[in-house]
Amino acid sequence: MQIKAIQEKFKSLFEAEGTFYTSPGRINLIGEHTDYNGGFVLPGAIDKAMYAEIKPNGTDKVRAFALDLGEYAEFGFGENDLPAKSWAKYIYGVCREMIKRGAAIKGFDTVFAGDVPLGAGMSSSAALESCFGYAINNMFKLWFDRFELAKIGQATEHHYVGVKCGIMDQFASCFGKEGSLIRLDCRSLEYQYIPFNPTGYRLVLVNTCVAHELASSAYNKRRQSCENVAAAIKKHHPEVELLRDSDLVMLKEVANEVTPEDYIRAEFVIEEIQRLLDTCAALEKGDYETVGKKMYETHIGLSRKYEVSCEELDFLNNIARECDVTGSRVMGGGFGGCTINLVKDELYDGFIKRATDSYEQKFKMKPKVYDVVIKDGARKL
């Protein structure tokens, strides 16, 4: 569907045919706000993605059309060419980050569209960065490997969007593999594919459809808290660079040297890193009841300690509990977006009905429901 519409638009705008590339959004089973602390995450790429048709145009400019928004932008690659449109900043940022790394990039035409819901915690922006990173790398025969492409996407967020994100989203979008989650060590970038096929259960996202304002500054503030605590611990334990290197005993030692707010944020992160490891052990045994328990614990931590939940997400989490859903929690950065739910096959219909009906009754809007299908990462079509 998207491909056809993109093709038609590309032809009418540029009177040519380009090459198609795609890169997906992601889910994360557990391990939230651990990536920028050097901890572990457990994401997987999904069947919702960004698609772009793209072709060199022999100039030194990008001519880009965002089909979903019906918006056009044109920009160069210079330091002062930052485009005004927010979606164009991502493409420009990817190009700039490649140029900084020594790549010679030429102008290109592109039309793109996607079905990763925006602001839902499913990483639509990482999908966009990875799609263009992969496409430009392939089209101009550059030398970046997938690790570098993920870092280029992350650096785009840091330098051109203003979100000091970790590496999880871009990594999942670049490295996704059909049917598998990725257990990623965000400090070393060592990773393992973990086949995920929970017989008897389904993974489903319920989207609150609220995207809270100021989410990016609140996100950066959380990261700052973690860095403050890691720096305080380092004074006593020089080997500690990131919260990943610390533990709850070390944290207690600095209780009087950090603010109560920073303390509680760090406590969540240290516990969450351990929770992920416990979850992986449970997954290995096929023990989904423990996996689910850990998901609920993460939700409580994200809501009460890290304070990145919101009324709508807490509401959906409570409904999941009441419906005996095995595991449920807010997914991604938070402040809105989706809950991720691990639910037994036989309870699925009842849960979805109850969640949609009662959410609509309370908040006067319908939540959106997406069954999770785990797919491959960035590629040429």
Measure the CA–CA gap between 148 and 146, rounded to whole angstroms: 5
Closest CA to 9 of 102, 133, 111, 101: 111
247 is catalytic: no
Query: Which residue, 18 or 333, is less far from ligand GLA as judged by CB?
Result: 333
* 313 is a contact residue toward ligand GLA (CB under 6 A): no
| Minimum distance from residue 364 beta carbon to ligand GLA (Å) | 28
Query: Which residue, 10 or 219, is less far from ligand GLA as judged by CB?
Result: 219
Query: Which residue, 10 or 36, is less far from ligand GLA as judged by CB?
Result: 36
Do residues 334 and 309 touch, judged by C-beta distance below 8 A? yes
Q: What is the DSSP letter of 157?
A: I
Q: How many CA atoms lie within 13 A of 276 on its CB side?
A: 26
Please report the sign of the dihedral spanned by the C-alpha atoms of residue 346, residue 351, residue 356, residue 357: positive
* 39 is a contact residue toward ligand GLA (CB under 6 A): no
For residues 188-218, one letter each, b for 16 or more C-beta atoms within 10 angstroms of the residue's C-beta and e for the rest, the string is eeebeebebebeebbbbbbbbbbebeebbee
* 97 is a contact residue toward ligand GLA (CB under 6 A): no
- Alpha helices (H) in 33-167, listed in sequence order: 86-100, 124-139, 146-156
Q: Of these residues, 169, 278, 314, 349, which one is catalytic? A: 169
Please select the residue that binds ligand GLA; options are 33, 89, 244, 299, rule is CB under 6 A. Answer: 33
Query: Which residue, 166 or 301, is less far from ligand GLA as judged by CB?
Result: 166
336 forms beta bridges with 211
Query: Which residue, 168 or 355, is less far from ligand GLA as judged by CB?
Result: 168
117 Cβ partners below 8 Å, 6+ apart? 48, 124, 207, 368, 370
* 24 is a contact residue toward ligand GLA (CB under 6 A): no
300 Cβ partners below 8 Å, 6+ apart? none
* 117 is a contact residue toward ligand GLA (CB under 6 A): no
Binding segment for ligand GLA (CB under 6 A), chosen from 28-36, 83-91, 240-248, 349-357, is 28-36
Binding mask 324-353 for ligand GLA (x = CB under 6 A): --------xx--------------------
Binding mask 118-147 for ligand GLA (x = CB under 6 A): -----x------------------------
| Minimum distance from residue 292 beta carbon to ligand GLA (Å) | 19
Query: Which residue, 325 or 331, is less far from ligand GLA as judged by CB?
Result: 331
For residues 224-261, one letter each, b for 16 or more C-beta atoms within 10 angstroms of the residue's C-beta and e for the rest, the string is ebbbbbbebbbeeeeebebbbbbeeebbeebeeebeee
Please select the residue that binds ligand GLA; options are 23, 24, 35, 129, rule is CB under 6 A. Answer: 35
Q: Determine the size of the site formed for ligand GLA (CB under 6 A).
A: 11
Residue 218 phi, psi (nearest 5): -65, -35
| Minimum distance from residue 53 beta carbon to ligand GLA (Å) | 26
Please select the residue that binds ligand GLA; options are 36, 75, 175, 359, rule is CB under 6 A. Answer: 36
Query: Which residue, 91 or 273, is less far from ligand GLA as judged by CB?
Result: 273
Give the burial class of 1: count Cβ atoms within 10 A of its Cβ; 0-12 exposed, 13-18 middle, 19 or more buried. exposed
307 Cβ partners below 8 Å, 6+ apart? none
Binding segment for ligand GLA (CB under 6 A), chosen from 27-35, 95-103, 106-114, 314-322, is 27-35
| Minimum distance from residue 168 beta carbon to ligand GLA (Å) | 5
For tokens 């720096």, what's the residue?
231
Binding mask 153-182 for ligand GLA (x = CB under 6 A): ------------xx-xx-------------
Q: State both tokens at 279.
A: 């979850």
Residues that bind ligand GLA (CB under 6 A): 32-33, 35-36, 123, 165-166, 168-169, 332-333
Kindly list the catalytic residues: 169
